[in-house]
Amino acid sequence: MTEIQCSDVQAGDHRLRVYTAGDPKRQAVLFLHGSGPGVSAPSNWSHLLPVFAEDFYCIAPDVLGFGDSDHPDPAPVGMPAYTTLRARSALALLDALGVEKAHFVGNSMGGMITLRVAQLAPERIDRMLLMGSGGAPIPPTEDLMKLITFFQDASVDAMAELLPRFVHDQTLFAGRLEEIAADRYAKASRPDVRRSHLATFDPSVGPVKYTEAELAAIPHETLVLHGREDRMLPLEAGYYLARNLPNAQLHVLPHAGHWIQIEQANRFTALARMFFQE
């Protein structure tokens, strides 16, 4: 199976930690993970990159302000400004890697970044896959608020209480919840990670909400995937995006929460491959 390569790439003004797999001569797929304390590209994509690398050149950065990528200081205040900076950072990464055009996979916040890229530089995106994507004008759920306010009372126990909210099937953690929570908390407790999280979710600034008109102006073929039991971003968000993006199709996956790529890895892979290879 194809090995994952790790490197630091200077993408415009910022350094990104980037994980790649597959032949750079193939069609590129850029994987953008979601938000959350301690999240990184490997936590979202490490089990999938070798599989997709059989057909594609896979690029999965720690998104700017997450993991081992740069954490701007001072950081943009609020989700809208940070989303735009992160979108420009993704474009700069493609430039640095010599990739003219790529398929985009955006999970949660990564979906919002993908949509912003589609507004800023539509010619750089081939097809979009939005998975449990944010950007719909709906109020945050109780579970999402737990993520947003994590640092009000951060601890390993709080992480262990947060993580099961991302999935439908609690057995996914296979008795390793405390171990996973401790590892994730160690990453989240870094001062730069905490600073970026608090800037992203600054309460003085509202969330990213794409209007019907804004979505209607995005012409890309889009696959919207949403877990039926998603507690972070409810199924209504997927319906909103699929209804307003003119060339979108929606697949609702049963027995799945917010982490479709983990809970329904085989279905996710099959649907994505079929969509990208049409």
Measured CA to CA in angstroms, residue 222 lies from 18, 107, 127 at distances of 24, 13, 6
Is the CB of residue 39 less than 8 Å from the CB of residue 262? Answer: no
Q: Determine the Cα–Cα distance for residues 18 and 7; give it in Å rounded to an integer.
A: 5
Is 192 a residue of the active site?
A: no
Please tell me whether residue 5 adopts helix, strand or coil conformation: strand
Cα(146)–Cα(158) distance, integer angstroms = 9
Catalytic residue among 197, 220, 226, 258: 258
Q: Which of 62, 68, 70, 230 is catalytic?
A: 230
Residue 135 CA, chain-centre distance (Å), reads 12
State yes or no: is 108 an active-site residue. Answer: yes
Q: Which of 35, 40, 69, 108 is catalytic?
A: 108
Instruction: Please give the C-alpha separations between residue 112 and each of 25, 101, 109, in angstroms, as whole numbers.
Output: 28, 18, 5
Question: Among this protein's residues, is 258 annotated catalytic?
Answer: yes
Catalytic residues: 108, 230, 258
